[in-house]
Amino acid sequence: MRILSIDSATEAASCSVIEDDNLLGEITFNYKKQHSVILMTIIDNLLKNINKTINDIDGFVVSKGPGSFTGLRIGMATVKGLSQGTNKPFVSVSSLDSLAYNLAYTDGIICPILNALRGNVYTAIYCFDDNKLKRLTEYMVISLDELIPLIKEKNKPVTFIGDGIPLFKEKIKDSISNVKFAPTSLNFVRASALGELGLERLLEGEYDDLYTSAPIYIRKSQAEREYEKRTGKDINE
């Protein structure tokens, strides 16, 4: 099976083509969100350079979020268009899953953090269990102060990855002792990591519905926020 994957959940715009166990090509730009301008161009470029056309693609994978609202919509709209036009299935995979997968087989826990602005991060906690990526928490949008105790209670070495690192590195180092950070060469979303996770699902016959599939944005509803403001309590407590 040959799939085209696209990740536009963060500053980076990335696309790749994977054929079974083989990555045929990948283009990634990690420079000023400009997905609407470059995404179609890099897809076109990639296909041309591996001597394929869109009709050679058997399925699509797209980042589901959380992440940049605008980026997620551009990715989702692009892949839905390609999927409908070619009549091939697509599946959406969380950008956090794909970031964690960049650090495959890391010991301890893996914590991707994406800058969600206003001092918050999009995050979830992962580990590799029997060589499989396993998510240990929900997808969350929380402040770093809320995240740190969640990490500490796991009581395991932790590796952080994601565009939230530059912003929070010092604070993380000060609060957690056994901590590592992804090297620069791995520290961005890669369509190939996303694609590999998506390919597994497509092979199992799992795919998204063209009309109902939507990005995950994650935000508390206004009612929840008002309740919390009024009572000073988290609604889930």
Partner 1 sequence: MEFLVNNENMTIEIGKKLGSLLNKGDVICLNGDLGTGKTHFTKGIAKGLLIDDYITSPTFNIVNEYEGRLKLYHFDVYRVNDPDEIYAIGFDEYIFSDAVSIIEWSNYIEELIPDEHISVTIEKLPEKGINFRKIVINHFGNRYNYVKGITL
Closer to partner 1 by CB, 33 or 52: give it: 33
Q: How far is the CB of 37 from partner 1 (least distance, A)?
A: 14
What CA–CA distance (Å, rounded) separates 158 from 205? 33
Closer to partner 1 by CB, 145 or 226: give it: 226
108 φ/ψ angles, rounded to the nearest 5 degrees: 80, -150
Of 175, 67, 71, nearest in space to 124 by CA: 67
Specify which residues 28 forms β-bridges with: 14
Q: How far is the CB of 84 from partner 1 (least distance, A)?
A: 24
Closer to partner 1 by CB, 107 or 217: give it: 217
Q: How far is the CB of 143 from partner 1 (least distance, A)?
A: 15
Closer to partner 1 by CB, 83 or 95: give it: 95
Contacts for 47-55: CB closer than 8 Å, 24+ residues apart: 47/4, 47/17, 49/25, 50/17, 50/24, 50/25, 52/2, 52/17, 52/24, 54/4, 54/82, 54/85, 54/86, 55/86
Of 63, 66, 20, nearest in space to 39 by CA: 63
Q: How far is the CB of 134 from partner 1 (least distance, A)?
A: 31
Tell the residue number behind the tokens 């070495």, with chain if given.
157
Closer to partner 1 by CB, 117 or 129: give it: 117
Closer to partner 1 by CB, 116 or 202: give it: 116
DSSP tag of 220: -
For residue 204 the two structure tokens come to 């199992």
Q: How far is the CB of 225 from partner 1 (least distance, A)?
A: 8
Closer to partner 1 by CB, 3 or 141: give it: 141
Q: How far is the CB of 92 from partner 1 (least distance, A)?
A: 18
For residue 19 the two structure tokens come to 């054929």
Q: How far is the CB of 222 from partner 1 (least distance, A)?
A: 5
Binding site for partner 1 (CB under 8 A): 33, 68-70, 117-118, 217, 219, 221-222, 225
Quote the strand ranges of the chain, DSSP E. Answer: 2-7, 13-19, 22-29, 59-65, 90-94, 109-115, 120-123, 126-129, 132-135, 140-143, 158-161, 179-181
